[in-house]
Amino acid sequence: MASVEVYLKYDIDKLGRAGQRVFVKNGYARNFLFPRNLAVPVTKKSINRLENAMRQVEARRRLELKAAQSVAETIATLECSFFRQSGDEDRIFGSVTGRDIAAALKEKGLDIDYRKIQLERPIRSLGIHHVPIRVHQDVVVELKVWVKKEEVEESPESSQ
């Protein structure tokens, strides 16, 4: 199988970052990367143009990294609390999911996509949980999440 060297215009998961030169199969380049304008073939003509674009990409990447680090510092100082009804052995009814955490962060003024919250599985127990959040490709921060027991008031009808 023949391969071709391409220059990536954008970050592509499991392949490389924008500005990298990578070898890919001819079919992958011809049928996926080139039609979607995600990459260009490396030729003598395109190398200078690509190097200039790479400098711009690196400058943009540095700015994004600085912004992500400031968001990470903010998240590191925050705590989120959730109140849930619980049964025996401190297991809660329902769960706390990434969407719940993203909504709580939005209330605190941070707009974080729920897919960046890296829960292995939803939280189903009371207590303190440390939840990793991938703010940027190179920046991961832990958020302290408290899951507390919700006090249920008994209605007068149920006590009779």
CATH code, domain carrying 96: 3.10.430.100
Q: Which of 64, 81, 104 is the last residue of a domain?
A: 64
Are 102 and 138 contained in the same domain?
Answer: yes
pLDDT at position 49: 81
pTM metric for this prediction? 0.67
Span 65-122, pLDDT tens digits? 999 999 999 999 999 999 999 887 888 988 999 999 999 999 999 999 999 999 999 9
Are 80 and 13 contained in the same domain?
Answer: no
pLDDT(159) > 60: no
pLDDT at position 147: 94
Count of CB atoms situated within 10 Å of the CB of 92: 21
Which tokens belong to 153?
Answer: 């008031």
Range of the domain at 140: 72-149
CB 124 within 8 A of CB 91: yes
- Considering its fold, how many domains does the chain have in total? 2
In a domain, 32, yes or no: yes
The contacts of residue 48 (CB under 8 Å, 6+ apart) are: none
Q: What is the mean pLDDT of residues 5-28?
A: 90
pLDDT(156) > 70: no
Are 79 and 145 contained in the same domain?
Answer: yes
> What are the CB-based long-range contacts (under 8 Å, 24+) for 53-61?
53/9, 53/19, 54/19, 57/18, 57/19, 58/19, 61/18
